[in-house]
Amino acid sequence: MKPFLDGIMTGLLLQLALGPVFFYILGITVDSSYLNSLMAILAVTLADYIYIVLSLIGIGRLLQHDRAKTVFGLTSSLVLAIFGILIFYKGFGAFSTTVHSASMAWTPVNSFTSAFILTISSPLTIIFWSSIFSAKAIEKGYQKGQLTIFGLATGFSTFLFLCVTMLILSAVKSGIPTIAVQTLNCAVGVILITYGFTRGFKMIRDKKNAPQSLA
């Protein structure tokens, strides 16, 4: 039970660092139903577990090469920016009948699919999980089986945190004015776009500043 409880607590602590996926699901929740946000949460959890499994079997080492990190980093940045633009476009639709009629409506299928693509598009997450597992193996002396339990618990904490948070938001959102909901959508879009461009520029800058090989 100790690795499981440790995984839950570690995962919940990591959730305090709110990232683009959280804001993306936040946008789905305020703009549609809890069912849609729940499907998005399931997609995020599935993608996280895929990366956790890959981390446990050591695939993360393959992505530690500079070229791979740059390619995957820029790809995930582009995906973030695209999803941010789509959400901003949807939020802005409230102020324009033409735009609103053309915007995408959330469904369980596209909520799941889009959230999965957004999460899985950042393979560098494997390196993050690999670092967590390495630290725990050293700090706690966990063996392979204990690390597996720890990883499963950490992934479950993501599902737990998002489910509870979005359930509370769904319960109170009926009292939020429509204009505030649409403004929040626009804000979520801007946050995702900022995440995408900031991450992309950082990858390019780090690549330029990296020491050149003499080979």
- Report pLDDT digits (tens) over 75-120: 666 766 776 776 677 666 655 544 444 445 789 999 999 899 888 8
Average pLDDT over residues 58-68: 59
pLDDT tens, position by position, 118-131: 888 776 677 677 77
| Per-residue confidence (pLDDT) for residue 7, from 0 to 100 | 86
d(CA 159, CA 20): 15
Global confidence as pTM = 0.70
Q: Is the pLDDT assigned to residue 166 strictly greater than 90? A: yes
Helix (H) or strand (E) holding 180: helix 178-209
Tell whether the model's pLDDT for residue 142 goes beyond 90.
no
Measured CA to CA, the distance from residue 173 to residue 185 in angstroms comes to 13
**Bigger pLDDT: 20 vs 138:** 20
CB 45 within 8 A of CB 157: no
Residue 196 token pair: 């995408």
Residue 66 burial (C-beta neighbours within 10 Å; 0-12, 13-18, 19+): exposed
pLDDT tens-place string over residues 29-57: 888 889 999 999 999 999 989 888 888 77
Distance CA 126, CA 137 (A): 16
Q: Is 172 helix (H, G, I), strand (E, B) or coil?
A: helix
Domain ranges of the chain: 2-208
Residue 100 is predicted with a pLDDT of: 45
CB 200 within 8 A of CB 74: yes
C-alpha to C-alpha distance for 76 and 117, rounded to whole angstroms: 10
DSSP output for 105-138: PP-HHHHHHHHHHHHHT-TTHHHHHHHHHHHHHH
* Tens digits of residue pLDDT in 179-190: 776 777 677 778
pLDDT at 45 (0 to 100): 93
- The CA-atom distances, in angstroms, between 17 and each of 10, 14, 208 are 12, 6, 28
pLDDT of 64 over the 60 cut: no
- How far is Cα 79 from Cα 118, in angstroms, rounded to an integer? 7
Residue 151: pLDDT over 80: yes
Q: For the beta carbon of residue 159, count every other beta carbon within 10 angstroms.
A: 18
In three-state secondary structure terms, 68 is: helix
The confidence band for 207, taking pLDDT boundaries of 50, 70 and 90, is low
Structure confidence at residue 70 as a pLDDT band (50, 70, 90):
low
- Residue % of the chain over a pLDDT of 70: 68
Average pLDDT over residues 11-25: 81
How much is the pLDDT for 168?
92
- In the chain, how long is the greatest CA-to-CA distance? 63
Tell me the average pLDDT across 3-11. 87
**Would you give the distance in Å from CA 211 to the centre of its chain?**
31
DSSP state at residue 57: T
Mean of per-residue pLDDT scores for the chain:
76
